[in-house]
Homo-oligomer: A and B are copies of this chain.
Amino acid sequence: MEGHGAYNRNSQVQASGIAPAIGSLEDAARAVPIGSGAAPLVVADYGCSAGRNSLLPIGIAVRALRERAGTSRDISIVHNDLPNNDYAALFDLLANDPASYLGHDPRVFASAVGHSFFEQVVPSGSVTLGWSSWSVQWLSSVPMEIPDNVAIGCSEDAAARAAFARRAADDWATFLRARALELRTGGRLVVVTMASDDSGDFGYRVVVAAINKTLRELAETGFLSETEVRRMVIPTYGRTRAEFVAPFGDSARFGDLALVHAELFFQEDHIWADTGEGRDAETFGARWAAFSRASVGPTLALFLEGGTGDPRRTEFLDRYEATMARLLAAKPEKSLMPLVQIVLEKRGAG
């Protein structure tokens, strides 16, 4: 990890993209059955990272549930991510940030589960409301090297594109099966994630081009080896809306999960807008570079020869960010930023 809260400080791009889906989450919080017993209502947050982008949506979900359940009902929030996530930063944020939902409601309890969401991570039938933001685009692993690009969305290699598409389809089905086990009957899951538009365009072309060029420059100066650059891959995949709904078929059902809503939408490029549509090129470059360092830098650094312990790690991230900033400032361009939101409901016994 890149130190306490580095991701929290540089994740505004994700935050600005989830606003439409937060409305769906609030609707779901008003629609799910909450029963009349005293058992805690459980809200699961799949892919929480260090938590910054969870505070707003989870806070809204908590308030909506609280209005329905009364003041004495306990609400349990389960934040899930990989085992090596920065949970200390998450718990610090939850305890101390003014925007933390914990500060506004004494009957809310937070916990974390450090386990891949491609398996079941909480007890069966326990989740009333699920949320996953900007996480499902990450694949379970890299299916193969991409010969011509760091990102499959910008690759022209047919074999690599096919291998990534297969892995993405398998991972989505695996993710859904695990969530189907975890949801209570009538419980809902709202997913918002990076996607490709209906023509298959993943977007972010100027940013991905800068990443490729940055890595080539770092190899040309000898800082990275050719082997390292060849192996570097961002293991994300932007599924199209059609790929997201495929498992549900004509019945809009996948096992116990019913498809309630699936929508492609486009996030505004706030960095482009905030920097005068290219007029403040330096800030444009600096902001995208900081975002890229925080979001994909740690992943790329894993491909350094020495892995997580490679002594060049911090210098790699510094050089990566500096080169990205220079390249992006040289030719500011607006990015297409496709997202998909999906709303699912657990049906049948559970």
Contact = CB atoms under 8 A, between A and B. Distances in A.
Interface string A1-22: 1000000000000000000000
Contacts of A112: 87, 111-114
A143 interface: no
B111 A95 contact: no
Interface stretch (A26-34, A115-123, A248-256): A115-123
Given A95-B83, A121-B109, A114 B126 contact: no
A274 interface: no
Interface in A80-129: 83-88, 90-92, 94-95, 109-115, 120-126
A38 interface: yes
Interface string A65-90: 00000000010101000011111101
A85 B114 CA distance: 14
Nearest to A83: B91
B126 A115 contact: no
A111 B109 contact: no
User: Which of A87, A109, A123 is the most central at the interface, judged by chain B CB atoms within 10 Å of its CB?
Assistant: A123
Contacts of A111: 78, 111-113, 122
A52 to B, nearest CB: 15
A120 to B, nearest CB: 8
Nearest to A74: B123
User: Which of A74, A87, A95 is the most central at the interface, judged by chain B CB atoms within 10 Å of its CB?
Assistant: A87
A247 interface: no
A65 to B, nearest CB: 13
A59 interface: no
A113 B86 CA distance: 13
Contacts of A123: 40, 74, 76, 109
A242 interface: no
Contacts of A330: none
A101 to B, nearest CB: 14
Contact of A92 (B84, B86, B94, B113): B84
Interface in A170-196: none
A273 interface: no
A78 B112 CA distance: 9
A130 B74 CA distance: 19
A246 interface: no
A260 interface: no
18 contacts: A40-B126, A74-B123, A74-B124, A76-B123, A78-B111, A83-B88, A83-B94, A84-B92, A86-B88, A87-B112, A91-B114, A92-B114, A94-B114, A109-B121, A110-B113, A110-B115, A111-B112, A112-B112
Ranked 9 nearest A-B pairs via Cβ: A91-B114, A83-B91, A87-B87, A74-B123, A40-B123, A111-B111, A111-B113, A112-B112, A84-B88
Given A74-B124, A95-B115, A111-B122, 12 more contacts: A76-B122, A76-B123, A83-B88, A83-B95, A84-B92, A85-B88, A86-B88, A87-B112, A94-B114, A109-B123, A110-B113, A110-B115
Interface of A: 1, 38-40, 74, 76, 78, 83-88, 90-92, 94-95, 109-115, 120-126
